[in-house]
Chains A and B, each alone.
Chain A
Amino acid sequence: MLRRIVRIPLGVSGAVARHGRPGNRVASTMHGLVMLSAGLLLGASVATNVRCQEPPAVQAAGTPTALMVFIDYEGAVRPDLSPTELRVEAAHALAARISPDGQGVLSYPEIEPSMRVWGVRTAGDLSNDLLHALGAEYGIETVVLSRLVVFSDRLLLLSRGIDRKSGTVAWAEIDETSLSDDFWKPGHLDMERWRSAVAKLDPIGNRGPSGSGVDEAPTALVLPLRPFGLSPHSGELASHALLEALLSSNRFRIPDPSLVRNVLRAKGHDPSMLDVDGRNELLTWYEPSALLVPDLLTFETAPISSPTITEFGVEPADLSPVSSARSPLYFQVLAVDCATRQVRSADAVYLEPDDSVGLFGLTHHVPLARRFEKAAEEIVEQLQKRGGNL
């Protein structure tokens, strides 16, 4: 399924100019300032709301964990139930997977006020300020960020555990479950059905929510992946698979990509066009050994105006844009030296189109998650063959 492309060691020294302040100290200093200014800007009403909110008691048993759940609907999926209720139910179901008795886990409804204050509306909005607030207000130590992508025929759960104090990703996990053909049938879907479908997904895999990061390893910053000709969710999936593979190797310390992006955004830098100032900002905050710059491109070249398969009277299994994630893909990761701005290596895999037809004409797709996980593992394997020294 995968075709290895190439691995390019350029024999460049891994030395990175070490200057600037340590990230944590900066984070805490910045946090104080931001907290103060945000409090002033948001006005009395919001601030009062936060203060009046009774802090839910986080039990001492286990690591105090905050679970944030975000739901994205791919393609034409539009359930006729309230999105808010679906989110609350999903959060409950996933929290139960982390802690069956509910001890030590705060989920969406409880932490929603803090998320609102710090403007966290999507999984990409995570900020150092919110992490600090979760620690100060609820005693949270680990944040589990789960992104549930809803397809017409499956649910995909992209989860990662973030150490609240350091902002590094401790683990990443992808889970997938298929849905029955009549799942979205109008009048057929109810909350119980939704909850049982979500409950099949495991946000943390075979580990505790806190997991373990690698503190002494070189820091690698994963910049946002650019999906070309694919839905953003395909890009998220590929990016998450890369994160999972990097962490599984235990060779890299990886600050959460959302935090990195927001550090750049806060100073007006665009991660897709990272100039010298942007790089200096990252050097100051993280002293990274390398920037990992992933790209995902579809090699499907059929013009959009060409006759579709439906015009020939054949109904494809899936009409949502996710079918493009099964198209031939080129997954490339550049490792860039943050100080010299030089590309140190390029690793890429070509994913053959996933349209294999088995016996009697039955199509057996590889699960989407597995398709991307294999590609990411292949890329990280190439990195590891260099000794993992970025």
Chain B
Amino acid sequence: MKRPTILRSSTFAVLSIAALLPALLGCGSSAQSYVKPMVDFSYLQRAAVLPFQNLTRDDLADERMQSVFLTEVLSAEILEVSDPRETAAAMLTLGIPANQGLTPEQAIALGKQLSVDAIFSGIVEDYGFARGGLDRSPEITLVLALTETETGSVVWRSQVHETGSSFWKRIFGGSPDDIYEVSRETVRKALGTLL
């Protein structure tokens, strides 16, 4: 009678470890998001993507994150996306600064100009490698928002902090993910709260 009990315990332990290991070895991350209640997202068919704002010291962080975001949002096949070059032209026409958030009036005007139902915007808050130790682990903090263009109100917002390493990776000597993988994972985590 004891033997099966012992087996069950060890099996449970092994399964528990097996289940937890990927999580323990995976990237460290945290995410917060807000979705406006009572919004019909099926109404949003076509979106524009604004140039991302860059609050980091890396001059290209915004361009990198916007490119990765564009690919990921298109891969979801949920929304049509207008050409970013036309978005840039429309912002210039309307006198909207590239490195600032939109006011509701600007969002409505841009929506009309581009014939889009919603506008994605992004802010790169952290982008680079964690300091200290021998381990150069990438760290990214990204804020994404979706503004619907009928009223100019924000209907979704998500902030994700992602690192390429984790406590267990450091303990077991696993190499951190490269910054591209972390960029992609950051965007996916953020979009995962919307799509």
Indicate whether A206 reaches chain B with its CB closer than 8 angstroms. Answer: no
Complex interface: chain B residues within 8 A of A366 (CB): none
Pair B88/A273 contact, Cβ less than 8 Å: yes
B154 within 8 A of A: no
* Residue count of chain B within 8 Å CB distance of chain A: 36
Contact stretch, chosen from A154-162, A310-318, A330-338: A330-338
Instruction: Tell me if B63 and A228 are in contact (CB < 8 A).
Output: yes
B interface: dominant SS: helix
Residues 68-85 of B contacting A (Cβ, < 8 Å): 68, 70-72, 74-75, 77, 80-85
Known: A10-B74, A274-B89, A328-B178. A343 touches B63 (CB 8 A): no
A291 CB contacts on chain B under 8 angstroms: 83
> Looking at the complex, which one of B77, B90, B127 makes contact with A8 (CB distance below 8 Å)?
B77
Q: Are B57 and A299 in contact (CB under 8 A)?
A: no
Our pick among B46, B60, B75, B86 for the contact of A297 (Cβ within 8 Å) is B60
Query: When the two chains form the complex, which single residue of B68, B72, B74, B83 contacts A345, counting CB atoms closer than 8 Å?
Result: B74
User: Measured between C-beta atoms, what is the minimum distance from A382 to chain B in Å?
Assistant: 12
Which chain B residues lie closer than 8 Å to A341 at the CB level?
A: 82-83, 86, 114
> Known: A273-B88, A275-B93. Is A8-B82 also a contact (CB below 8 A)?
no
Is A6 positioned at the interface, with any CB of B under 8 Å from its CB? yes
Question: In whole angstroms, what is the CA distance A291 to B82 when docked?
Answer: 13
Residues of A291-305 at the interface with B, using a CB-CB cut-off of 8 Å, are: 291, 293, 295, 297-299, 301, 303
B58, B82, B93, B114: the one contacting A343 at CB < 8 Å is B82
Interface string of A1-45 (1 = CB under 8 A from B): 001011010111000000000000000000000000000000000
Residues 261-312 (chain A) with a chain B CB within 8 angstroms: 270-276, 278-279, 291, 293, 295, 297-299, 301, 303
Asked whether B82 lies within 8 Å of A342 as measured between CB atoms, the reply is: yes
Asked whether A301 and B88 contact (CB < 8 A) given A330-B64, A346-B74, the answer is no
Specify which chain A residues have a CB less than 8 angstroms from the CB of B128 in the assembled complex: 301, 303
Whether a CB of chain B sits under 8 angstroms from the CB of A151 is no
Kindly list chain B residues whose C-beta atoms are within 8 Å of the C-beta of A345. Answer: 74
Kindly identify which residue among B60, B81, B85 contacts A298, using a CB–CB cutoff of 8 Å. Answer: B60
Complex contacts, B32 vs chain A, CB 8 Å: none
Q: Which of A275, A301, A336 sits near B129, CB closer than 8 Å?
A: A301
**B179 on the A face (CB < 8 A):** yes
Asked if A343 contacts B74 (CB within 8 A), the reply is yes
Contact B70 A342 (CB under 8 A): no
Partner of A303, one of B57, B71, B83: B57
Shortest CB-to-CB span from A175 to chain B, Å, is 30
- Report if A70 contacts B (CB, 8 A): no
Cα separation A275 to B92 with both chains bound (whole Å)? 10
Q: Is the CB–CB distance between B67 and A332 below 8 Å?
A: yes
Q: CA–CA, A11 to B72, complex, Å?
A: 17
Q: How large is the interface on A (under 10, 10 to 19, 20 to 34, 35 or more residues)?
A: 35 or more
> How many angstroms from the CA of A298 to the CA of B70 in the assembled complex?
17
B180 close to A (CB within 8 Å): yes
Q: Is the CB of B81 within 8 A of A297?
A: no
Contacts of A3 on B, CB cut-off 8 Å?
180
Name which residue of chain B comes closest to A293, CB basis.
Answer: B85
Contact of B58 among A271, A272, A295, A303 (CB under 8 A): A303
Task: Give which listed residue, A8, A270, A272, A279, contacts B74 with CB less than 8 A.
Answer: A8
Whether, in the assembled complex, A348 has its beta carbon less than 8 Å from a beta carbon of chain B, the answer is yes
Given contacts A299-B179, A342-B46, A346-B71, contact A229 B85 (CB under 8 A): no
Contact partners of B80 in chain A: CB under 8 A? 10, 12, 342-343
Is A350 an interface position by the 8 A CB rule?
yes
B88 touches A272 (CB 8 A): yes
Q: How far is the CA of A291 from the CA of B86 in the complex (A)?
A: 12
B58 touches A5 (CB 8 A): no
User: How far in angstroms is the closest Cβ of chain A from B73?
Assistant: 9
Closest to B178 in A: A328
Q: How near does chain B come to A296, taking the closest CB pair, in angstroms? A: 10
A38 to B88, CA, bound (A): 33
- Check A336–B68 contact: CB distance below 8 A: no
With A10-B77, A273-B89 as known contacts, state yes or no: A297 contacts B67, CB within 8 Å: yes
Q: Please state if A297 and B71 are interface contacts (CB–CB under 8 Å).
A: no
Query: Smallest distance from the beta carbon of B135 to chain A beta carbons, Å?
Result: 15
Residues of B within 8 A of A301 (CB): 58, 127-129, 138, 179
CA distance A270 to B91 in the complex (A): 14
- 25 A-B Cβ contacts within 8 A? A8-B74, A8-B75, A228-B60, A272-B85, A273-B85, A273-B88, A273-B92, A279-B86, A293-B85, A298-B60, A299-B179, A299-B180, A301-B179, A303-B58, A330-B64, A330-B68, A330-B180, A334-B83, A341-B83, A341-B114, A342-B80, A342-B82, A342-B83, A343-B81, A346-B74
The 3 closest A-B pairs by CB, nearest first: A275-B89, A273-B89, A8-B74
